[in-house]
Amino acid sequence: MFFRKKKVSGHAPEAITVPAHVGIIMDGNGRWAKQRRLPRSAGHKAGAENFRTITRYAAKIGVKYLTLYTFSTENWSRPAEEVNALMSLFHDYLEEALRDFMDENIRVRFIGDVSAFSPELQALIHEVEEASAPKTGMVLNLAMNYGGRAELVRAAEGYARDVLEGKADPKELSEEEFSRYLYTAGQPDPDLIIRPSGEKRISNFLLWQSAYAEFVYFDILWPDFKPRDLDEAVRIYSQRQRRFGGV
C-alpha cells in the first residue's frame, strides 16, 4: 500500500510504502511513570491506552500484521506488585476487546506460552481469539509470555516430535519447513521493527523472524509514541534499500 506526504517546499510529494508486517517493542512505561513521580503501574496503564491508539492507527494506514511485545518471559522477574498490575491490565484489555474492540476488523492472536497465566486469563485469551477469528482485516499478534529463544526451543521440540512420529524427514528440513513450527507460522516475517524508549537492542523479540527486518529506534517512551511517530518510522523504512543479502 502507498500513501503520499504533503508537498513540501515545491518538491514532489514523497511516495511511502507501508510495510506489511510491523513489530513494536513497547518499552519505557516504567521510566515514563518515574519521570512523573507516579507508580510504575501508572506507566503501564498509560502504555496500554496508547497500545489501543497505535493498533487502530496501524490498521487504518494499511499494516496487515502488527506484532506487539506485551510481556516477555523475563518480565516475571519484576516485582510481584508490578506483575500483578500487568495481569490486571491484560484482564481489563481482554474484557474490553470482547466488549468494544470487536467492532474493529482486526483479528487478535496470542503468541507465547500462555499456559503460565491464570485459568481465568487463559479463558479470556481463548475467547478473544475465537471471537475475532472471522475478522478479515489486520492480524494483531500479542506477544505474551513470549521469548524468541523459548520460541525456537518450542519449535525444535515440535519438529523433533514430528520426526519421531514419522511426520517429518530431517533430510528435507529447510528454513521454510522449520518456520511452520513457529508461533507466526503462515505469516510473513516482519518488515519493520520499531523500538521506542531510546534502547537499541532486540531483547529476545522475534529472533528468527527478524533476520532481515529493518529496525527504527526512537528516543521516545512508549506512552508518548504517537501516530505521527509511526508515520515517521514508515517514512524511514521507505527510504531503506532492502537487499536481503544481495547486491
Position 184 pLDDT exceeds 50: yes
> Does the global pTM surpass 0.95?
no
Residue with cell 512523573: 36
The pLDDT, as a whole number, for residue 207 is 97
Name the active-site residue from 27, 50, 141, 145: 27
Provide the grid cell at 124.
479470556
Residue 131 lies inside a defined structural domain of this protein: yes
Provide the grid cell at 95.
474484557
Name the active-site residue from 75, 113, 162, 204: 75
How far is 227 from 18, CA to CA, in rounded Å? 14
103 as an active site residue: the answer is no
What is the DSSP annotation of the chain? -EEEPPP-TTPPPPEEEPPSEEEEE---HHHHHHHTT--HHHHHHHHHHHHHHHHHHHHHHT-SEEEEEEEEGGGGGS-HHHHHHHHHHHHHHHHHHHHTGGGSS-EEEEES-GGGS-HHHHHHHHHHHHHHTT--S-EEEEEEEE-HHHHHHHHHHHHHHHHHTTS--GGG--HHHHHTTSTTTTSPPPSEEEE-SS----TTSSTTTTTT-EEEE-SS-GGG--HHHHHHHHHHHHH----TT--
Position 115 pLDDT exceeds 50: yes
Residue 196 lies inside a defined structural domain of this protein: yes
Q: Look up the CATH number of the domain holding residue 75.
A: 3.40.1180.10
How far is 139 from 155, CA to CA, in rounded Å? 21
Residue 166 lies inside a defined structural domain of this protein: yes
Provide the grid cell at 9.
517546499
Residues 52-84 have pLDDT tens digits of 999 999 999 999 999 999 999 999 998 898 899
With bands split at pLDDT 50, 70 and 90, how would you rate the model's confidence at 9? very low
Residue 148 lies inside a defined structural domain of this protein: yes
Provide the grid cell at 199.
534502547
Residue 78 lies inside a defined structural domain of this protein: yes
Other beta carbons within 10 angstroms of residue 94's beta carbon come to 22
Residue 12 lies inside a defined structural domain of this protein: no
The pLDDT, as a whole number, for residue 25 is 97
The pLDDT, as a whole number, for residue 246 is 65
Residue 231 lies inside a defined structural domain of this protein: yes
Q: Which range marks the domain in which residue 123 is found? A: 18-239
Residues 14-37 have pLDDT tens digits of 678 999 999 999 999 999 999 999
Domain count, the chain: 1
92 as an active site residue: the answer is no
Residues 36-50 have pLDDT tens digits of 999 998 999 999 999
Residue 13 lies inside a defined structural domain of this protein: no
